[in-house]
Amino acid sequence: MLLALVVLLSIQALRPDVAEARARILIVFDEDKDFPGLATINRSLRETFATDLGSDVEFYSESLNLSQFPGPDHEGVLRDHFRRKYAAVPLDLIVAVMDPSVEFLLRHRALFPRVPIVFCGAERVDLQGKTLGADVTGVVVKRDYAPTLEIALKLHPDTSNVFVVGGASKFDRRIQTIARRDFARFERRVVISYLTGLPMGDLLASVSRLPPNSVIVHLTLFADSAGFAFIPHDALSRVAQAANAPVYAAVDQFIGRGAVGGHVHSFDTHGQHAAQIGLRILRGEPAASIPIAEPEAYTDLFDWRQLRRWGIDERRLPAGSVVRFRAPSTWDLYKWYITGGVLLLAVQSALIAGLLVNRTERRRAQRTLAERLRFETLLSQLSAELLTMPASSFDHAVERMLQRVVETLDFDRAALAERVDGTLRTRHTWTRPGIAPVPARLAAPADFPWLTSQVTGGEVVRISRLDDLPEAAATDRQSLAGRGIRALTALPLLADGTLVGALAFSRLRGEYAWPDELTARLQLLADVFANVLARRSADEAVRTSEEGRRQAQEEALRQRDELAHAQRVSTLGELTASIAHEISQPLSAILTNAQATLRSLATEEPKRAEIEEVFTDIAADTERASHTIRRLRALFRKQQAERIAVDIDATIEDILGLVRSEMVAKRIAVSYARATDEPTVLGDPIQLRQVFLNLIVNAGEAIAAMEDGTREIRITTSQPDTGQVAVAIRDSGVGVPASELEHIFEHFVSSKPQGLGLGLAISRSIMEAHGGRIWATCNEDRGLTLHVTLPIGRG
């Protein structure tokens, strides 16, 4: 308690010292401090002091209003006012603005005997004959009106008359004396008339009737000859509005009030200089050691609006001129809107370009896929026909097959040559209508020596341009050109490493680049023809005897049957795998219901209602299996499937009822949290049921593989985003490494010994067909969570 009292007393004792630390500054104006010029100096002084002293400064201000109260009695009133008002205020500095304020403070120095004074706005000539004292210093202004008149005459070279406008106050007359001195040297160039000492009405009438080629130089007008006081810049505005000639001024406060411009003095800069001297004194520097400053504070300043009014070209202004009040251009007013619009247009253009590129790429990909599909279909058909037909029927069908290849791949010619006695002889050809037939031999040594050597050596020859052939193929180039061939590819037919023939395709309509992918496809065709030629050669060798002919027939029939069987298995393999996987679950449900019926019938009193319900489920599962086959066929053929509104919660509850007994048998707890709203999607109910049933069964099998630990499946439905329903199926099973999460959705990837590896792949394809997604994440403890999202829709 005693310590707190001591601290409190210490704070109270320090407060007067803290108050004394604040700098008290009195600013004295000769006129109302709201006059534009004085207001500019006032603001400049206060901002400069506050920037350096911060909050440790306290300002006082007084206006003498000498133009409104010019009599001698007013000064006595002011003296008594200052004495009583500031008797108890310990001032640190006085700033006197304009010469009348300086004169007043010097005459009544006894009011503030030890307070230093900094003056501004006075001229050096005003200080002549005055005893300032050691603690008085400041900044003087050098008023010079000649540069302003020089600028006016330069901008208006035809000027013959200059009219000088001023007021009748004491200050106005002092300014006029300076102006007459400065304008004396111009009297030989122009006629200078002084419109001073007139009532405001007569002045406005005079300036409205000035002769042509006249300019006006406005000085100051605090009062007119009728004794009416005016705010100087308001007076200038009235003069500029009534005048029929441009008005120039030498004070920056008049620019923007109707004056065109001039070589103007800056009150803002002048006030900063005075404040800097005051700060030096407040820091302890004696005023006597600071000389009176006369800084250069003039600039060439103009009003853009007046330049436009009087038709003055900005290029004629003095170098370094400052032009204010420029009307903002359309860019200045709306540059952000214009920039935003341009950016938006650029973004839209980029998006459109991207969409066009994407569409082009998609169409190119579609064409590529279509070409690949046509070729694979052609290859499959030719393989089936060539490999299953008897060797004796080969000659009758091969040209028809070459025709199909040429038409499918847009070639002009195709030729199949067989190797007979070491020489390639053309046996089968097909030429597009309107194209000359191929020569009798594909690669006669005399005509195509280089091409023959390449094919005989087992090399694939691709000629995109005849000019690309090497020097060694000069004869071949000449022979190809003579036959009109501009591009050619030739593939050797090899059977067990032995050359049995050659297959050639050519184009006569123009040069052609043979892509690697196309060459690889043609190589597959060449392998098929090579096998057929090899088989026919073997058949011919066997038929040299009666036994050989019989064995050849039996071998041909056996190979034909085996190849036909292989073709059926290859064709049905993909469909059988998909269908077997998709209908296994409804068939399992049928089996489960049938077993439940048998168990119910084995009881002494079977319940009719339960049996009817089981048979109803069997009929529904049978119908569901039938629907599954139809829907899967429509999905993989990309046919438009029927879509209806499907209640996701009802679908999942139906599936849980189906697998409830299996989960109980495996000791797996299943929990289901429904969404607040009823999530309904537009889709195929059979396909959606298959997906969720597959995911729940997979989760149960993953848990069944665990020997200990928690055995549970948690299912939740929610609506995380507007327009979407999400389903999460979380299990505590064996899980999958994070690096393998994406691979579980690929075809033929399964962790179950009897699994086909198609469940998750088919589920993903069903989700994507419904506009949804399916993915897996690893749980923090163990197991996986399968996520499904679907767009909400109502049908």
Residues 131 and 41 in one domain: yes
Provide the 10 A C-beta neighbour count for residue 371.
16
Say what the pLDDT of residue 543 is. Answer: 63
Q: Distance of CA 410 to CAs 157, 174, 405, 507, 600, Å?
A: 85, 104, 8, 9, 69
pLDDT at 578 over 60: no
The answer to whether 406 touches 430, Cβ cutoff 8 Å, is yes
Q: For residue 599, report the phi and psi dihedrals to the nearest 5 degrees.
A: -65, -35
Name the nearest CA neighbour of 716 among 698, 682, 692: 692
Average confidence (pLDDT) over 618-622 = 80
| Inside any domain, residue 208 | no
Q: Looking at residue 223, what DSSP letter applies? A: B
pLDDT at 84 over 60: yes
Average confidence (pLDDT) over 761-774 = 82
Say what the pLDDT of residue 761 is. Answer: 76
* Residue 662, C-beta contacts closer than 8 angstroms, at least 6 positions apart: 592, 700
Q: How confident is the model at residue 391 (pLDDT cuts 50, 70, 90)?
A: low
Beta partners for residue 672, in sequence order: 715
Say what the pLDDT of residue 566 is. Answer: 35
pLDDT at 795 over 70: no
Distance, in Å, from the CA atom of 490 to the CA atom of 426, rounded to the nearest integer, reads 13
pLDDT digits (tens, 9 = 90+) for 305-349: 999 999 999 999 999 999 998 888 777 778 888 888 899 899 999
The mean-pLDDT minimum among 243-252, 403-412, 520-529, 633-642 falls in 633-642
Strands 247-249 and 214-218: parallel
Distance, in Å, from the CA atom of 579 to the CA atom of 300, rounded to the nearest integer, reads 93
How far out from the chain centre does Cα 150 lie?
Answer: 56
Q: How confident is the model at residue 504 (pLDDT cuts 50, 70, 90)?
A: confident
Q: Is 516 exposed, middle or buried (0-12, 13-18, 19+ CB in 10 A)?
A: exposed
Distance, in Å, from the CA atom of 523 to the CA atom of 86, rounded to the nearest integer, reads 112
Q: Distance of CA 449 to CAs 357, 452, 653, Å?
A: 46, 5, 77
Beta partners for residue 163, in sequence order: 193, 216
Give the range with max mean pLDDT: 212-221, 262-271, 402-411, 489-498: 212-221
Average confidence (pLDDT) over 662-685 = 84
Residues 74 and 103 in one domain: yes
Q: Looking at residue 421, what DSSP letter applies? A: T
pLDDT at 628 over 70: no
* Residues of the domain holding 714: 642-791
* Final residue before a domain boundary, out of 263, 297, 331: 297
Give the range with max mean pLDDT: 173-182, 609-618, 641-650: 173-182
Strands (E), 662-703: 669-673, 680-683
Say what the pLDDT of residue 393 is. Answer: 67
| Inside any domain, residue 154 | no
Residues 635 and 646 in one domain: no
Say what the pLDDT of residue 568 is. Answer: 31
| Inside any domain, residue 342 | no
CATH number at residue 756: 3.30.565.10
Q: How confident is the model at residue 549 (pLDDT cuts 50, 70, 90)?
A: low
The sign of the dihedral angle between the CA atoms of 403, 409, 415, 417 is negative
Distance, in Å, from the CA atom of 473 to the CA atom of 476, rounded to the nearest integer, reads 5
What is the b/e burial string over 50-61, where b = at least 16 CB atoms within 10 angstroms of the residue's CB?
eebeeeebeeee
Residues 582 and 697 in one domain: no
**Size (the chain), residues:** 795
| Inside any domain, residue 653 | yes
Residue-wise DSSP of 708-756: SS--EEEEEEE--STTEEEEEEEE-SS---GGGTGGGGSTT--SSTT--
Two tokens at 663? 């989960």
How far out from the chain centre does Cα 591 lie?
Answer: 58
Residues 630 and 708 in one domain: no
Say what the pLDDT of residue 312 is. Answer: 93
Distance, in Å, from the CA atom of 762 to the CA atom of 753, rounded to the nearest integer, reads 19
* Final residue before a domain boundary, out of 493, 527, 542: 542
Give the range with max mean pLDDT: 137-141, 205-209, 286-290, 607-611: 205-209
Strands (E), 470-553: 487-495, 498-507
| Inside any domain, residue 10 | no
Higher pLDDT, 654 or 248: 248
User: At which residue do the structure tokens 């006695």 appear?
Assistant: 421
Q: Looking at residue 251, what DSSP letter applies? A: B
pLDDT at 3 over 70: no
Q: Looking at residue 681, what DSSP letter applies? A: E
The three-state DSSP-derived secondary structure of 93-135 is EEEEECHHHHHHHHHCHHHCCCCCEEEEEECHHHHCCCCCCCC
Residues 697 and 623 in one domain: no
What is the signed CA dihedral for 273, 276, 277, 283, rounded to 10 degrees? 180
Give the range with max mean pLDDT: 16-25, 665-674, 761-770: 665-674
Number of domains in the chain: 4
Average confidence (pLDDT) over 118-123 = 88
Say what the pLDDT of residue 560 is. Answer: 37
Provide the 10 A C-beta neighbour count for residue 552.
22
Provide the 10 A C-beta neighbour count for residue 373.
10
CATH number at residue 132: 3.40.50.2300
pLDDT at 550 over 80: no
Residues 576 and 678 in one domain: no
| Inside any domain, residue 236 | no
Q: How confident is the model at residue 546 (pLDDT cuts 50, 70, 90)?
A: low
Residues 417 and 279 in one domain: no
Residues 100 and 127 in one domain: yes
The pTM assigned to this predicted structure is 0.41
Say what the pLDDT of residue 545 is. Answer: 56
pLDDT at 569 over 60: no
Say what the pLDDT of residue 197 is. Answer: 82
Q: Looking at residue 259, what DSSP letter applies? A: B
Average confidence (pLDDT) over 479-501 = 85
Residues 633 and 683 in one domain: no
Average confidence (pLDDT) over 454-483 = 85
Higher pLDDT, 92 or 452: 92
Residues 523 and 628 in one domain: no
pLDDT digits (tens, 9 = 90+) for 250-304: 988 889 899 999 999 888 888 899 999 999 999 999 988 999 888 877 889 999 9
Mean pLDDT of the chain: 81
Q: For residue 789, report the phi and psi dihedrals to the nearest 5 degrees.
A: -125, 140
pLDDT at 350 over 50: yes
Q: For residue 432, report the phi and psi dihedrals to the nearest 5 degrees.
A: -60, 140
The answer to whether 283 touches 54, Cβ cutoff 8 Å, is no
CATH number at residue 475: 3.30.450.40
For residue 685, what is the enclosing H or E element? helix 685-704
| Inside any domain, residue 591 | yes
Say what the pLDDT of residue 76 is. Answer: 87
At 262, the amino acid letter reads G
Q: How confident is the model at residue 755 (pLDDT cuts 50, 70, 90)?
A: low
Residues 605 and 676 in one domain: no
Q: How confident is the model at residue 11 (pLDDT cuts 50, 70, 90)?
A: very low
| Inside any domain, residue 444 | yes
Distance, in Å, from the CA atom of 197 to the CA atom of 226, rounded to the nearest integer, reads 9
